[in-house]
Chain A
Amino acid sequence: MAMIDIQHISKWYGSFQALRDCSTKVEKGEVLVICGPSGCGKSTLIKTVNGLEPIQEGEILVNGISLTSPKTNLPQLRAHVGMVFQHFELFPHLSVRENLTLAQVKVLKRSKAEAGEKGLQYLERVGLLEQKDKFPGQLSGGQQQRVAIARALSMDPICMLFDEPTSALDPEMISEVLDVMVKLAQEGMTMMVVTHEMGFARKVAHRVIFMDQGRIIEDLPKEDFFGKPHTERAQQFLDKILVH
């Protein structure tokens, strides 16, 4: 059974169709990289996986649980699907420590002490233990994104979704975030990553998806994606981002 199973989904914003009959699978322990031009539906696709964006057609199974079934307890499912956003979305009115523990306490019903211990343990893993009492606004972008990753990991997720985690960062901070993600991938976390960091894709991805205008037009193993000729559209795009 695949960890994430996306079957023929379509999504409309009003009359605008953002996703057209998209299907793909992510096996347990697999890292899937999604790329494509801006506005092609990458964020939309990744947000459907934890139900942040509802779909109108098709079916999504996460760890065998259907997202479209009205019986599914969506908050409970989301609690076990970690998500990291382009703009970090740490809660600015809460300290780093509170950011890490809030959902553990409110959703997973862990005790404050247990949640704190878990949170700090992941904070240490991303190398920011000394920052535990600071507020998000006092951290650099790269540090904020690493806290955001620690926050997601504190929930003991079964898979992680990343939506352009490095594209809002200054260049010198990109690698500190990618390092954390590479380590995570090497430890066997199931990951779905929207990114244009092809170095990251080469290093840890198992498969790469290329999207355009709401469609998945290539879905290939990494070796094929970086080795074989492409559809014209994908080749144009890759030429653009790889030229620099």
Chain B
Amino acid sequence: MYDFDFDVIWRSLGYLFRDGMTFTLMLTTCAMVGGIILGTLLAMMRLSSYRFFSAPAGLYVNMTRAIPLLLVIFWCYFLLPYICGYVFHELYKISPKPIGDLLIRIFGYQVQDGTPLRIGAFTSSVITFILFQAAYYCEIMRAGIQSVSQGQMGASYALGLNYWQTMFHIILPQAFRNMLPVLLTQTIILFQDTSLVYVLSITDFLGAASKVAQRDGRLVEMYVFVALIYFVICLFLSYLVRCLQSRIAIIR
């Protein structure tokens, strides 16, 4: 009989939450904010009557949604440094002084030798999740924008507001409120998906737990605990969704 030792959880609690959960929550928050902003821009592009905007946005969304997330995580982590290194090097060749100075200032990156840019696991996963989630947020925001009646756009234009003012003050606030439950549900999915970064040996919540589990040989206890925590947090988030939904709804 396997004898359980749940004390391992107690002993590693600090590491699990201070290192692991902090990373997971940071990643979720950054990816959500970035994803919603990029997704909203993509949605506006998709709804544009100019094919110059709508076609590339549509292509991007459909392609992203057709690729497994795990693949994107690997690609970004291993390829992004080379791509950035290459792009910056090409830029550097065009105008050496300003670009070189800028890159050193921002990344501490010596561009001259053309080595891959060292992006780091966190930045790389943030970029990955923003790019990936944007496709899903885009579809939600597209539905949200379409849920606002055409007449609202007309009324706003009739008052003299331009396209960006109309979007920012009239259409998007309504679209957000109409779509808030769906946006937050997507964020719960994102929160769960971030655990995939553990394939990059990153210490997110799952990564941290898995390291402790292997070190102490306590796989069952740790994975049960992790599952429980994910469950509790998601449950809490869904509860939050329901509360917000009634509070923020537009009075009709």
- Which of B151, B158, B165, B177 has the most C-beta atoms of chain A within 10 angstroms of its own C-beta? B158
Q: How many residues of B contact A (CB 8 A)?
A: 21
Is B157 close to A, CB under 8 A?
Answer: yes
Is B154 close to A, CB under 8 A?
Answer: yes
Query: A residues within 8 A CB of B177?
Result: 93
Contact (Cβ within 8 A) B154 A106: no
User: What is the CA–CA distance of A240 and B156 in the complex, to the nearest angstrom?
Assistant: 35
Contact (Cβ within 8 A) A85 B251: no
Q: For chain B, residues 205 to 223, give those with C-beta under 8 angstroms from any C-beta of chain A.
A: none
Residues of B at the A interface (CB closer than 8 Å) are 149, 151-152, 154-162, 165, 169-170, 173-174, 177, 250-252
User: What is the CA–CA distance of A13 and B60 in the complex, to the nearest angstrom?
Assistant: 31
SS class of chain B's interface: helix, strand, loop or mixed?
helix
Contact (Cβ within 8 A) A75 B158: no
Contact (Cβ within 8 A) A87 B151: yes
Contact (Cβ within 8 A) A78 B250: no
A91/B155 contact (C-beta < 8 A), A103-B160, A137-B250, A138-B251 known: yes
Contact (Cβ within 8 A) A52 B157: yes
A interface residue count range (under 10 / 10 to 19 / 20 to 34 / 35 or more): 20 to 34
Query: B residues within 8 A CB of A136?
Result: 251
9 A/B residue pairs, CB under 8 Å, sorted by A: A52-B154, A75-B161, A78-B160, A83-B155, A89-B152, A91-B152, A92-B251, A135-B250, A155-B160
**How would residues 133 to 158 of chain A score, 1 for a CB under 8 Å from any chain B CB and 0 otherwise?**
00111100000000000011001000
Q: A50-B158, A107-B161, A135-B250 are in contact. List 11 more A-B contacts (CB 8 A).
A: A47-B154, A75-B161, A75-B162, A77-B160, A80-B160, A83-B155, A91-B152, A93-B177, A102-B159, A106-B161, A107-B165
Question: Which residue of A is nearest B154, CB measured?
Answer: A52
Contact (Cβ within 8 A) A76 B160: yes
Query: A residues within 8 A CB of B174?
Result: 91-93
Residues of A at the B interface (CB closer than 8 Å) are 47, 50, 52, 75-83, 85, 87, 89-93, 102-103, 106-108, 135-138, 151-152, 155
In the complex, how many angstroms separate the beta carbon of B55 from the nearest chain A beta carbon? 21
Query: A residues within 8 A CB of B250?
Result: 92-93, 135, 137
Indicate which residue in B149, B161, B173 contacts A103 across the interface (CB closer than 8 Å). B161
User: What is the CA–CA distance of A186 and B215 in the complex, to the nearest angstrom?
Assistant: 87
Indicate which residue in A52, A87, A91, A92 contacts B158 across the interface (CB closer than 8 Å). A52
Contact (Cβ within 8 A) B169 A102: yes
Indicate which residue in B155, B160, B165, B173 contacts A89 across the interface (CB closer than 8 Å). B155
Contact (Cβ within 8 A) B159 A85: no
In the complex, how many angstroms separate the beta carbon of B159 from the nearest chain A beta carbon? 4
Query: B residues within 8 A CB of A151?
Result: 159
In the complex, how many angstroms separate the beta carbon of A171 from the nearest chain B beta carbon? 22
Indicate which residue in B152, B159, B251 contacts A135 across the interface (CB closer than 8 Å). B251
Indicate which residue in B149, B152, B155, B160 contacts A75 across the interface (CB closer than 8 Å). B160
Query: A residues within 8 A CB of B165?
Result: 106-107
A137/B252 contact (C-beta < 8 A), A92-B174, A151-B159 known: yes
Contact (Cβ within 8 A) A83 B158: yes
Query: A residues within 8 A CB of B160?
Result: 75-80, 103, 107-108, 155
User: What is the CA–CA distance of A166 and B19 in the complex, to the nearest angstrom?
Assistant: 63
